Structure 1
Amino acid sequence: MKEKIWLSSPHMGGNEQHYINEAFETNWVAPLGPNVVGFEADLAHFLDNDVHVAALSSGTAALHLGLILLGVRPGDAVICQTFTFSASANPIAYLGATPIFIDSESETWNMCPQALEEAIKDQMVLGNKPKAILVVHLYGMPAKMDEILTVANRYEIPILEDSAEALGSSYKGQMCGTFGTMSALSFNGNKIITTSGGGALVTKSESIKDRAIFLATQARDDAPHYQHSEIGYNYRLSNIAAGIGRGQMEVLSERVDARRKIHSWYQTIFSSISEVQVFTAPNASFYSNYWLTTILLSSFEQRESLRLALESACIESRPLWKPMHLQPVFESSPYYGKTVAADLFQVGLCLPSGSNLTEIEKNRIEEVLVSFFK
């Protein structure tokens, strides 16, 4: 049987082991230590724009803490992009708040500014002004942040940016993850860099970072004994996992370049196949890391046929995210927009995009694609 080609597998740079060994040698085997501090500093330096970073156990933890720090409480409304992974929406439910789902626009597949404003106006008429706007940079493609920020500022609603898929992407020269009041990053095993599992909360406020770390370490009061005046969480990243992250940061720019070259390679393959559209940045303002290269086909049937053809060749592919407002768990939540996200889900497919794809693997993928469309 052929070896499986994965959609996006971990890609080590080689220096991760140095930081891990150092943690063992110095006995920093805990959710604090020099690797945690160093990893946070590496991320802040990469993102630039005078940010502060708290390294956490997952991107989901970052979103959860972000919502808490924005004051979201049970019964509050939180606006959320519908076209995303469930981890964007689940923390809203953790807090007993109500997600208000917003459709995509067709150029970036991210939150539609017009539907966003419609939702805010409607909720305000109902006496339920949203507490936060959770916008996603899907598959590494920056959202239309100028337009979204204009709406958010008009109604004085803070933005929590889900940049889990967008580390290394930028909009008009500004890094994704630095637009909102806070933002979340993910270092899950399939992301552009990984810490095995992990995430980070990014903010421009040092006091918010300090508060996030306090809550992420069980909200322990400053006392000689264990005293807690509020509920905390076990959300801090371990020093060993952060060591993996430090090694990964050394090759982050290379990983972004590699993913972008894979995207260009797919564009070449599909350049003469009219029924396939490769999802590409609409103009030079949008710089995508192309975490995953995605395509649109002519029908659901064609999409499934290609997915199964790849599967039979031991090549992983995956349909686009199923919109949150179509998920059984969120079917009663309010939704604003048309059918952009739902239509994309029907005909879209994610293709293998790992920065560690070999030439042999690329040849295998190309052979299946060319054969299928012949």
Structure 2
Amino acid sequence: MNNERIFLSSPHMSDEGFEQEFVKEAFDTNWIAPLGENVNKFEEELAEYVGIGHAAALSSGTAAIHLALKAAGVEKGDYVFCQSLTFSATANPIIYENAVPVFIDSDEKTWNMDPKALEEAFKKYTPKAVIVVHLYGQSADMDRIKEICDKNNTVLIEDAAESLGTTYKGRQTGTFGEYGIYSFNGNKIITTSGGGMLVSNNSEKIKKARFWSTQSRDQARHYEHSDIGYNYRMSNVTAGIGRGQLKILNNRVERKRQIFNTYREELKNIPEITFPNENEWEYSNHWLTPIQLNGKVTPNELMDELENYNIESRPVWKPMHLQPFFSEYDFVGGGVSEKLFSNGVCLPSDSKMTKSELEKVIKVIKGLYKNV
């Protein structure tokens, strides 16, 4: 038996070596610092790919959310509505700015922010910004969410960390709000090992974000600082990796979709396993394949069984309103996000998975259900 580990989602460099070419250029020209041709070009190429005016390459998706909140004018005591079913990196920057998060439940159709709960939250609070997430590459219902935010004159920020390559009605996620963010962490659909991007059609705000990201150094011969700054700029080396990865993004999206569809087809005869719907308005990148278990096998039992065969899996994100740190903050909605967490497992969705590895995962799952 081949016991080589099957990963959830690991870095996948191009077969053509595009990344190495751009990194070599950075070394050959000695542009190793957080500025240079690769940084500038990565911003331009990413913005062109998603169809937006401007982009700032940063050290992480978290940094991008933080600077989006600053650009939106979020200050101490301001309310920020945030999707509850997400990774903590979505919510943490709200605390960085000493603002107050209010967590919003999910809609079962999208797994993302529930527009009805969002409307209810607006009856209780007047927020400075709303952060919606496109979870696991599945698009939120952006028409309704944007309509609600526009009606209430509230800045919309899209956490598209997991959804680069996903479209909603033919338009890239991350481009509907005033600000969008992407992540290039090691497990994302493309990676720079670590990094992120802030995008917007507002050129002045992106220019300001770049200023903040390089320690807010004013134009002066000496070191002059009239604003608080951060060490958030992406390096020219990692930007080179990103430029290479961007060239094969469409291939990665297609492979992730193949993996999702294979799981769904092969496991369709197990009624206790359900998959998220790909709604009529979206073309999902299916970064990960999350499932719901509604029966005799628990998520922990499935994950333990997969681990017995050296197969990595992961629970669905635990909602923020259930996290110890965030438990004091308000939550608006019902029990959808809690249900998705309690019943959820993310199956291995590594774009490097071979046919035999995918078959192995499916065989283990089928065997578990056959034996219980």
TM-score of the aligned structures, taking structure 2 as reference length: 0.97
1:344 aligns with 2:340: yes
Alpha-carbon distance change, 202 to 300 in structure 1, aligned in 2, over 3 angstroms: farther
Q: Partner of 2:325: helix, strand, or coil? A: helix
| Aligned with residue 54 of structure 1, among 53, 56, 63 | 56
| Aligned with residue 145 of structure 1, among 114, 136, 142 | 142
Q: Which residue of 1 aligns with 2:290?
A: 294
1:299 is displaced (CA, Å) by 4.7
Are 1:300 and 1:346, in contact at CA under 8 Å, matched by a contact in 2? no
Are 2:137 and 2:288, in contact at CA under 8 Å, matched by a contact in 1? yes
Structure 2 unaligned regions, length at least 5: none
| Aligned with residue 222 of structure 1, among 219, 226, 230 | 219
1:3 is displaced (CA, Å) by 1.6
Q: Distance in 2 between matches of 1:300 and 1:57?
A: 43
Q: Which amino acid aligns with 1:241?
A: T
Q: Which residue of 1 aligns with 2:40?
A: 37
1:300 is displaced (CA, Å) by 8.6
Structure 1 unaligned regions, length at least 5: 124-128
Report the more deviating stretch, 362-371 or 198-207: 362-371
Q: Distance in 2 between matches of 1:300 and 1:139?
A: 25
| Aligned with residue 20 of structure 2, among 2, 5, 17 | 17
Q: Which amino acid aligns with 2:32?
A: V
Q: Distance in 2 between matches of 1:336 and 1:318?
A: 26
Are 2:131 and 2:157, in contact at CA under 8 Å, matched by a contact in 1? yes
Q: Which residue of 1 aligns with 2:326?
A: 330
Q: Which amino acid aligns with 1:83?
A: L
Q: Which amino acid aligns with 1:18?
A: E
Are 1:104 and 1:341, in contact at CA under 8 Å, matched by a contact in 2? yes
Q: Residue deviations 1:222-254, cap 9 Å, x none?
A: 111110011000000000000000110110000
Q: Which amino acid aligns with 2:221?
A: P
1:51 is displaced (CA, Å) by 2.1
Q: Partner of 1:330: helix, strand, or coil? A: coil
Runs of 4+ residues over 6 Å off in structure 1: none
Q: Which amino acid aligns with 2:79?
A: A
Q: Which amino acid aligns with 2:12?
A: H
1:302 is displaced (CA, Å) by 2.0
Alignment of 1:31-110 (within 5 A): 31-48=34-51, 50-110=52-112
Q: Distance in 1 between matches of 2:143 and 2:359?
A: 40
1:282 is displaced (CA, Å) by 2.4
Q: Distance in 2 between matches of 1:301 and 1:278?
A: 16
Are 1:299 and 1:347, in contact at CA under 8 Å, matched by a contact in 2? no
Q: Distance in 2 between matches of 1:265 and 1:195?
A: 28
Q: Distance in 2 between matches of 1:257 and 1:90?
A: 32
Q: Distance in 1 between matches of 2:165 and 2:211?
A: 28
Q: Residue deviations 1:155-186, cap 9 Å, x none?
A: 10010110000000011111101000001100
Q: Which residue of 2 aligns with 1:2?
A: 3
Q: Which amino acid aligns with 1:41?
A: E
Q: Residue deviations 1:270-312, cap 9 Å, x none?
A: 11111110123122x1111000011101159522211110011
Q: Partner of 2:298: helix, strand, or coil? A: helix
Are 1:292 and 1:352, in contact at CA under 8 Å, matched by a contact in 2? yes
Q: Which residue of 1 aligns with 2:209?
A: 212
Q: Distance in 2 between matches of 1:338 and 1:359?
A: 40
Alpha-carbon distance change, 300 to 109 in structure 1, aligned in 2, over 3 angstroms: farther
Q: Which residue of 2 aligns with 1:184?
A: 181
Q: Which amino acid aligns with 2:13?
A: M
Are 2:60 and 2:196, in contact at CA under 8 Å, matched by a contact in 1? yes
Are 1:279 and 1:294, in contact at CA under 8 Å, matched by a contact in 2? yes
1:121 aligns with 2:123: yes
Q: Residue deviations 1:76-104, cap 9 Å, x none?
A: 10000000000000000111111000000
Q: Which amino acid aligns with 2:66?
A: H
RMSD: 1.1
Q: Which residue of 2 aligns with 1:126?
A: none
Report the more deviating stretch, 296-305 or 272-281: 296-305
Q: Which residue of 2 aligns with 1:276?
A: 273
Q: Distance in 2 between matches of 1:162 and 1:263?
A: 22
Q: Distance in 1 between matches of 2:137 and 2:210?
A: 27
Q: Distance in 2 between matches of 1:187 and 1:74?
A: 29
Q: Which residue of 2 aligns with 1:247?
A: 244
Q: Which residue of 2 aligns with 1:369?
A: 365
Q: Distance in 2 between matches of 1:54 and 1:351?
A: 32
Q: Distance in 1 between matches of 2:268 and 2:141?
A: 27
TM-score of the aligned structures, taking structure 1 as reference length: 0.96
Are 1:9 and 1:354, in contact at CA under 8 Å, matched by a contact in 2? yes
Q: Distance in 1 between matches of 2:79 and 2:276?
A: 32
| Aligned with residue 320 of structure 1, among 316, 333, 337 | 316
Q: Residue deviations 1:9-63, cap 9 Å, x none?
A: 0000121111111100100000000000111111011101x42110000000000
